[in-house]
């Protein structure tokens, strides 16, 4: 009896000291395993003695996986948590002092010097890569972003680069996606009079955060000429756990007040399912089946205004415009039918519609 009373007293003390975070979904849109940002300033203003590395996030009596996000800065910017929250539901989390559990990472990125300067990123759903300086002007050079299909929630980048046989499925997926001299799976480039002005491959990189719930990095591109004018670019890319999509903040430095851009998806010679919705900023492609390798769906969502969408012999293009000194933000991503979650064109389009709705619908967050 004495031991029970002691445990009850400790629990009551913990609850009394715990900081309360209310997350309310006031919409009819349910969210499944979504990464949610809670501004660190709102937490620390209520609890100035809170120390990074000495707290845990609780959902009742269950610990919740979380990440402190720095965005490449010295001070914490956000607390990230991953939750499912139903339509018109309120979830209550608490922050309590004490060392948290070790949670498995669900996102990861790294520079890959052993494979011609690749830069690869992934989460528990899908993986991507960009091509680096060492690949330029070689037979295998490619301009766009690549997709690696996965059918495991494990992080596989290191494993695949180690064995080097990633064009064959060893049970966890493979890379059969062909990029070539296109924008691939969602890269972006200037376009003038229907001519795309591709930059060289990225030459510098920096990781800002690397999991467990969100990975963010930058890729920098050297100066090149766009219709005779000098342009440089930097792309900040992030990927969240549980999502098929990654986010791009594309910074372009140029002389004029605005610059036309195109976001692209490489198109196959065989028939696939194409959906272009300029009003909703959604462009999607369910590729034709690639033999035993399966089918890849690729999509782009632009929250801002879209000028038009077009289809050429080589790729699908979303035409947009960026202003001087302003990042252009969009989302791109992919799904592989053999992963077993999104297995047809309708399911892929439904996923993209839901993703768009999530990005346009805010959660209410209250820290007490």
Q: Alpha helices of the chain — where are they, by DSSP H?
A: 2-17, 40-46, 157-163, 345-359
Report the pLDDT value the prediction gives residue 35, as an integer from 0 to 100: 98
Q: Which H or E run includes 55? A: strand 55-59
d(CA 251, CA 259): 11
Nearest C-alpha neighbor of 337 from the set 280, 300, 296: 296
Q: Is the pLDDT of residue 226 over 80?
A: yes
Report the pLDDT value the prediction gives residue 17, as an integer from 0 to 100: 56
| Contacts of residue 151, Cβ cutoff 8 Å, sequence gap at least 6 | 171, 172, 173, 336, 338, 339, 340
Write the DSSP assignment of 279-298 as a string of letters: TTTEEEEEPPP-GGG--EEE
- CATH 2.60.40.1180, the chain: domain bounds: 2-102
Minimum mean pLDDT range among 12-26, 110-124, 191-205, 297-311? 12-26
Cα 198 to Cα 155, 172, 195, distances in angstroms: 31, 33, 9
Cα 248 to Cα 110, 167, 302, distances in angstroms: 17, 26, 10
Report the pLDDT value the prediction gives residue 325, as an integer from 0 to 100: 87
d(CA 183, CA 173): 23
Largest CA distance in the chain: 83
Q: Is the pLDDT of residue 1 over 80?
A: no
Identify the bridge partners of residue 109 per DSSP, sorted by sequence position.
Answer: 121
pLDDT in tens, 300-348: 999 999 999 999 999 999 999 999 889 999 999 999 999 999 999 999 9
| Contacts of residue 305, Cβ cutoff 8 Å, sequence gap at least 6 | 320
- CATH 2.70.98, the chain: domain bounds: 107-359
Question: What are all long-range contacts of 244-247, with beta carbons under 8 Å and residues at least 24 apart?
Answer: 244/125, 244/126, 244/299, 244/333, 244/334, 244/335, 244/342, 244/351, 244/355, 245/299, 245/301, 245/331, 245/332, 245/333, 245/355, 246/121, 246/128, 246/186, 246/331, 246/332, 246/333, 247/329, 247/330, 247/331
Nearest C-alpha neighbor of 347 from the set 360, 335, 330: 335
Identify the CATH assignment for 2-102 out of 3.90.79.10, 1.10.3660.10, 2.60.120.260, 2.60.40.1180: 2.60.40.1180
d(CA 343, CA 340): 6
Structure tokens, 9: 């007293």
Nearest C-alpha neighbor of 95 from the set 63, 122, 121: 63
Q: Determine the Cα angle at 208 with ends 207 and 213, to 5°.
A: 100
Q: Report how many helices (DSSP H) and strands (DSSP E) the chain contains, helices first.
A: 4, 25
Class of CATH domain 107-359: mainly beta
Sole residue written with tokens 């000194």? 325
Mean per-residue pLDDT over the chain, rounded: 94
pLDDT in tens, 260-270: 999 999 999 99
Nearest C-alpha neighbor of 51 from the set 102, 103, 100, 97: 97
d(CA 215, CA 121): 8
pLDDT in tens, 161-203: 999 999 999 999 999 999 999 999 999 999 999 999 999 999 9
User: 18: pLDDT confidence band, cut at 50, 70 and 90?
Assistant: confident
Identify the bridge partners of residue 264 per DSSP, sorted by sequence position.
Answer: 317
Nearest C-alpha neighbor of 349 from the set 302, 267, 282: 282
Can you tell me the mean pLDDT for 43-53? 94
Contact assessment for residue 309 and residue 330, using Cβ atoms and an 8 Å cutoff: no
User: 4: pLDDT confidence band, cut at 50, 70 and 90?
Assistant: very low
């Amino acid at each position: 009896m004495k031991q029970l009373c002691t445990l009850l007293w400790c629990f009551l003390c913990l609850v009394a000291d715990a900081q309360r975070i209310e997350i309310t979904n006031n919409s009819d849109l349910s969210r499944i395993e979504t990464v949610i940002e809670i501004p660190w300033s709102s937490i620390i203003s209520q609890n100035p003695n809170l120390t990074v590395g000495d707290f845990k996030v609780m959902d009742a009596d269950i610990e919740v996986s979380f990440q402190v996000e720095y965005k490449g800065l010295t001070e914490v910017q956000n607390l990230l948590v991953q939750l499912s929250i139903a339509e018109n539901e309120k979830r209550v989390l608490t922050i309590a002092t004490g060392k948290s559990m070790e949670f498995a990472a669900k996102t990861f990125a790294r520079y890959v010097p052993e494979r011609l300067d690749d830069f690869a990123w992934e989460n528990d759903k899908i993986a991507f890569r960009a091509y680096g300086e060492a690949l330029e002007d070689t037979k295998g050079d490619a301009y766009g972003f690549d997709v690696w299909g996965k059918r495991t929630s494990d992080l596989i980048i290191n494993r695949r680069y180690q064995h080097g046989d990633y064009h064959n499925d060893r049970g966890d997926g493979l890379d059969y996606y062909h990029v070539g001299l296109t924008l691939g799976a969602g890269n972006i480039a200037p376009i003038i009079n229907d001519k795309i002005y591709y930059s060289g491959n990225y030459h510098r990189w920096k990781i800002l955060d690397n999991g467990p719930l969100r990975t963010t990095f930058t890729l920098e591109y050297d100066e090149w000429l766009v219709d005779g004018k000098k342009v440089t670019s930097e792309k900040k890319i992030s990927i969240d756990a549980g999502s098929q999509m990654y986010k791009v903040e594309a910074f372009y430095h140029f002389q004029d007040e605005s610059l036309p851009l195109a976001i692209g998806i490489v198109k196959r010679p065989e028939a696939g399912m194409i959906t272009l919705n300029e009003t909703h900023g959604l462009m999607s492609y369910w590729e034709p089946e690639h033999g035993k390798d399966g089918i890849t769906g690729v999509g782009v969502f632009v929250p801002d205004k879209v000028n038009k969408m077009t289809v050429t012999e080589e790729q699908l293009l979303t035409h947009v415009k960026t202003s001087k000194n302003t990042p252009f933000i969009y989302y791109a991503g992919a799904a592989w039918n053999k992963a077993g979650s999104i297995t047809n064109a309708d399911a892929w389009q439904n996923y993209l519609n839901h993703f768009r709705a999530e990005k346009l619908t805010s959660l209410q967050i209250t820290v007490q």
